[in-house]
């Protein structure tokens, strides 16, 4: 490189500062003119280059319009349907009196869950003392888990007397129990393997004993290990009824031998959570009775006739109360109820959710909104699949597949309407995630977040309308559709 070229580059590097000086001088000269200039180079506030970001007034305006629109819908609903909130109806539904049920099969089925729990604990005890082989023990565990998840499907389909709420409670309970026992079995398998390796290494070290110094080193290592694990439960001391039932009641799906514990139960905190659960549940019942049920019923004929305009109107009308119900349900479940259980059991890990509302893509949302399930999926399914040699894409698909199965399980079994809408909705999250990632990279994080919110607001009511239509057709036939059509 020549000195002349170096000199040119040197002058260009200094030209920015020089240009700023020239502009400053020109500005000073211009403003000293007698015409009193008032213009300068500036961008409009709505331009991205303006750097303006204070839109507080628009936020207040949006909330005001939202409030006015909500009050109008409230008045319209009361004028059209009257007051539909009736606590007695919920008592009939929850007790099964409206279905003529008196045997309470849902309670019997939940109590029966003690059988697979006991089988699981007995097999683990037998494996720990090597009464049964590892192959036979794991085979019994697999059969026990399969029977556990199949039992509600068979009983609810065959046995009469199940109401919708009771059947939903049973399927949700057995789903959680299935995931917890899976974690319990897998963690004890890890501990058992580690315990067996330690015993083998101790046998080898004692067989190869050669000198006093080596013996001193071994005794020092074992004593230091004992100091580190002092006060902690060790395998197989954890295999008892108290330990497994604490885990089954704890607000987590991932088993550990030693959970973090709090020092005391905060009574004021506990009372707040109880109040939130009770009040929030009543609000959910009111919104369902007053807003959701009329909209769901009115969507039957337009959806059956595939009237796109009216179906879209019903979908949008159902979307708002359904989304409000979902938000309240999220709060009372993941904040109020799980914190209530955690406080009673002095369970210290209260990280049940993350800031899913800021998720810029579908992947981030599913990793944030339900952390107990996310931790279980990563710890007990995703990582084991990867460790078996499969790629991360297949591991992620397996997680979505299992999630889709249980979503369908908790919807189709109580309704006795075996469709695949919930399963399809969950599996469609995979291509939707790719689309959301593309939008986020192409147009920015805000647009990715809008896609997440749109899928939550519109996807759920669409699924409700499809299942209601299929439920009516399956259990009441086309004649009811014709009857509604003539009304």
Q: pTM score, two decimals?
A: 0.81
The tens digit of pLDDT for each residue in 260-298 reads: 999 999 999 999 999 999 999 888 888 888 888 888 888
pLDDT band at 166 (very low <50, low <70, confident <90, very high): confident
pLDDT, residue 95, reads 60
Average pLDDT, the chain: 82
Band (pLDDT 50/70/90 cuts) for residue 471 is confident
- Local structure of residue 50 (DSSP, 8 states): G
Is 407 annotated in the active site? yes
pLDDT digits (tens, 9 = 90+) for 287-327: 888 888 888 888 888 888 788 888 888 888 888 889 999 99
The residue ranking higher by pLDDT, 266 or 224, is: 266
User: Of 486 and 441, which is predicted with more confidence?
Assistant: 441
Express each pLDDT in 27-50 by its tens digit.
777 767 777 777 777 778 777 777
3-state helix, strand, coil in the chain (%, to 5): 75, 0, 20
Kindly name the residue from 407, 469, 475, 486 that is annotated as catalytic: 407
What pLDDT does residue 229 have?
59
Q: Are 362 and 452 in contact (CB under 8 A)?
A: yes
pLDDT at position 386, please? 92
Q: What is the pLDDT of residues 337-378, one digit of tens each?
A: 999 999 999 999 999 999 999 888 888 899 999 999 999 999
39, containing H or E segment = none
| Mean pLDDT along residues 182-204 | 86
Q: Where are the domains of the chain?
A: 104-197+232-249, 264-487
């Amino acid at each position: 490189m020549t000195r002349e070229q170096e000199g040119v580059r040197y002058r260009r590097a200094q030209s920015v500062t020089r240009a700023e000086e020239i502009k400053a001088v020109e500005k000073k000269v211009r403003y000293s003119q007698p015409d009193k200039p008032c213009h300068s180079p500036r961008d409009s506030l709505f331009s991205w280059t303006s750097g303006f970001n204070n839109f507080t007034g628009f936020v207040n305006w949006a909330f005001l319009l939202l409030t006015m629109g909500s009050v109008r819908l409230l008045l319209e609903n009361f004028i059209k349907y009257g007051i539909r909130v009736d606590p007695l109806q919920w008592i009939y539904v929850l007790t099964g009196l409206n279905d003529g049920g008196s045997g309470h099969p849902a309670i019997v089925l939940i109590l029966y869950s003690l059988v697979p729990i006991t089988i699981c604990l007995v097999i683990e005890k037998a494996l720990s003392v090597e009464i049964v082989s590892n192959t036979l023990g794991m085979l019994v565990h697999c059969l026990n888990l399969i029977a556990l998840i199949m039992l509600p499907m068979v009983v609810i389909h065959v046995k009469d007397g199940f109401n919708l709420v009771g059947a939903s409670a049973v399927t949700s309970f057995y789903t959680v129990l299935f995931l917890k026992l899976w974690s319990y079995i897998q963690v004890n398998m890890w501990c058992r393997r580690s315990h067996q390796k330690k015993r083998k290494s101790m046998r080898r070290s004692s067989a190869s004993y050669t000198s006093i110094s080596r013996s001193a080193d071994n005794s020092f290592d074992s004593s230091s290990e004992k100091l580190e694990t002092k006060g902690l439960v060790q395998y197989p001391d954890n295999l008892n009824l108290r330990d497994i039932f604490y885990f089954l009641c704890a607000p987590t799906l991932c088993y550990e031998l030693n959970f973090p514990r709090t020092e005391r139960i905060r009574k004021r905190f506990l009372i707040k959570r109880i109040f939130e659960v009770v009040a929030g549940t009543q609000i959910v019942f009111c919104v369902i009775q007053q807003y959701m049920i009329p909209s769901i019923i009115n969507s039957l004929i337009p959806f059956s006739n595939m009237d796109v305009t009216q179906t879209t109107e019903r979908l949008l009308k159902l979307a708002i109360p359904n989304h409000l119900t979902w938000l309240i349900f999220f709060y009372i479940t993941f904040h109020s109820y799980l914190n209530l259980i955690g406080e009673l059991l002095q369970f210290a890990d209260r990280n049940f959710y993350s800031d899913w509302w800021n998720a810029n893509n579908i992947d981030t949302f599913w990793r944030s909104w339900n952390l107990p399930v996310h931790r279980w999926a990563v710890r007990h399914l995703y990582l084991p699949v990867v460790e078996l040699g499969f790629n991360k894409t297949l591991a992620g698909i397996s997680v979505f597949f299992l999630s889709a199965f249980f979503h369908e399980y908790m919807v189709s079994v109580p309704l006795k309407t075996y469709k695949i809408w919930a399963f399809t909705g969950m599996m469609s999250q995979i291509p939707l995630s790719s689309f959301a990632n593309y939008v986020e990279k192409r147009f920015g994080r805000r647009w990715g977040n809008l896609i997440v919110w749109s899928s939550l607001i519109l996807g759920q009511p669409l699924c409700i309308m499809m299942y209601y239509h299929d439920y009516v057709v399956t259990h009441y036939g086309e004649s009811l559709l014709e009857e509604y059509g003539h009304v």
